[in-house]
Amino acid sequence: MQKGKVLIVDDNKSVLSALEILLQFEYEKVDTLGNPNLLSSFKNLEDYDIVLLDMNFSAGVNTGNEGLYWNREIKKRAPHISVIMMTAYGAIDLAVQALKEGATDFILKPWNNDKLLATLKSAYQLRKSQKEVSILKEKENSLKQVINQNKNYIIGNSKALTSVLNLVQKVAKTDVNVLVTGENGTGKELIARELHNLSNRKNEVFIGVDMGSISETLFESELFGHTKGAFTDAKEDRAGKFEAANGGTLFLDEIGNLSLQTQAKLLSAIQNRVVVRVGSNKPIPVDIRLICATNCNLEKMVADGLFREDLVYRINTIHVEVPALRERDGDILILADFYLTKFMTKYGKLGLRINNLAQEKLLAYSWPGNVRELQHTMERAVILCDGSVLKPTDFILNEKGTPTLDTANVTLSEMELLLINDALKKHDGNYSAAANQLGISRQTLYNKIKKSENGE
């Protein structure tokens, strides 16, 4: 027995009785209605899966217009219900008209029982599929809202930041590729999210990919997907990030850390807007807005043979340079107040304020770690503060821009971070060169940096 619910609408009592007897063992609920006018006040019409609807109700009328009218009325109240039209007067043009107006199928009286049951079974399966699609769409929309939920904000009103935001507003409505550059900690991902939020794709998904965290062996699988059995751990088909971002925005962060081999694979996907899953030969078209970001000097990398020039051209239709915090006059104290409020709430230390001397110290500092460093500095100051006023001594900074450490009590992780920062500074943010100096892989270096940024 099918679990579906069927409603039969016909003014012929013999037809209603015959269909009710035929279907009562096939479906969990079968109801009949002898007058279509009662549909107007019929409760819970949307609970039915199938309506078997006669096309002619008035004596001597066989145009089918009555059935077409009630089909439209049913569809207004229950758009996804499967309506099967019934008539003793068969005509191809009438059947076509019924289908055009949303009917699922068309059967003639007298009917063949087997054929009628097969028609209803197909209609019920269609109804089930439509329900499943509707549920999946609701889940997809909910998931998009969660993914796109942005709890971070672009804070500040300096000329340098305002200029960038003006450019972002101009570019956002287009689908051109955008390259966002800037020092570490300047907020490149926030700019990428702002581009998405102001775009025509704002209701679609924003997928961010940390390119530095993807190993070369998994690059194609992560970005382009794979089929079941494509490699040892491929236990099922999986869509890559390009497919996941279809219709929305794909943000490739730290793109300057890709090897030349992976750059070539990425270039092909960006050029053709087509990906091929690992283990498959089937091309899959994708519709994405591409935004890339890096703290590397790509022009210098091109000159040094470390980055493909044609890839730079592809990702760099519009270039957005995010200013360093030291270039954003006036934003330092605005950001400091923002993070002060955030961490007072987080750690239950309400009523804290920054005194004038401490403000002067924050303004005089160069902030080589930019907004991220200011955020960590404010969090540390709030945690360690014993009073209600943050003083200059609560902000431990030095001329080089790194927190001063008591070497007698320094931890291994703190010393490791100092060495990493020094190597990155020496090599202008080039992860591969810094990793070679430190004697570790680029992947290991990147993982250590991410762990320190997450406070692990």
Going by C-alpha positions, the residue among 319, 207, 220 that lies closest to residue 252 is 207
Q: Has residue 443 been placed in a domain?
A: yes
- Mean pLDDT within 127-143: 75
Q: 305 and 220, same structural domain?
A: yes
Residue 146 has pLDDT above 60, yes or no: no
> Of 297, 323, 349, which residue sits at a domain end?
323
Q: 319 and 173, same structural domain?
A: yes
Domain range for 123 is 2-136
Q: Has residue 189 been placed in a domain?
A: yes
Q: 318 and 174, same structural domain?
A: yes
**CATH number for position 129:** 3.40.50.2300
**CATH number for position 426:** 1.10.8.60
Q: 81 and 9, same structural domain?
A: yes
Residue 189 has pLDDT above 90, yes or no: yes
Q: 269 and 198, same structural domain?
A: yes
User: How many domains are there within the chain?
Assistant: 3
| 3-class state of residue 273 by DSSP | coil
Q: 318 and 191, same structural domain?
A: yes
Tell me: the pLDDT tens digits for 283-322? 999 999 999 999 999 999 999 999 999 999 999 999 999 9
- Mean pLDDT within 414-432: 75
Q: 342 and 363, same structural domain?
A: yes
Token digits for 197? Answer: 């939020």
Q: 278 and 231, same structural domain?
A: yes
- Mean pLDDT within 413-435: 76
Q: 335 and 219, same structural domain?
A: no
Which residues have C-beta within 8 Å of that of residue 174, sequence separation ≥ 6? none
Q: 6 and 101, same structural domain?
A: yes
Q: Has residue 381 been placed in a domain?
A: yes
The per-residue pLDDT of the chain, averaged, comes to 86
Tell me: the pLDDT tens digits for 358-387? 999 999 999 988 999 999 999 999 998 888
Burial of 51 (0-12, 13-18, 19+ CB in 10 A): buried
**Window from 85-99, 176-190, 329-343 with minimum mean pLDDT:** 85-99
- Mean pLDDT within 325-354: 93
Q: What is the pLDDT of residue 167?
A: 97
Q: Residue 44: pLDDT band by 50, 70, 90 thresholds?
A: confident
Residue 5 has pLDDT above 50, yes or no: yes
Burial of 317 (0-12, 13-18, 19+ CB in 10 A): middle
| Distance in angstroms (rounded) separating the CA atoms of residues 321 and 127 | 52
Q: Has residue 143 been placed in a domain?
A: no
Q: Has residue 226 been placed in a domain?
A: yes
**Window from 12-26, 79-93, 175-189, 214-228 with minimum mean pLDDT:** 79-93
**CATH number for position 233:** 3.40.50.300
Residue 404 has pLDDT above 50, yes or no: no
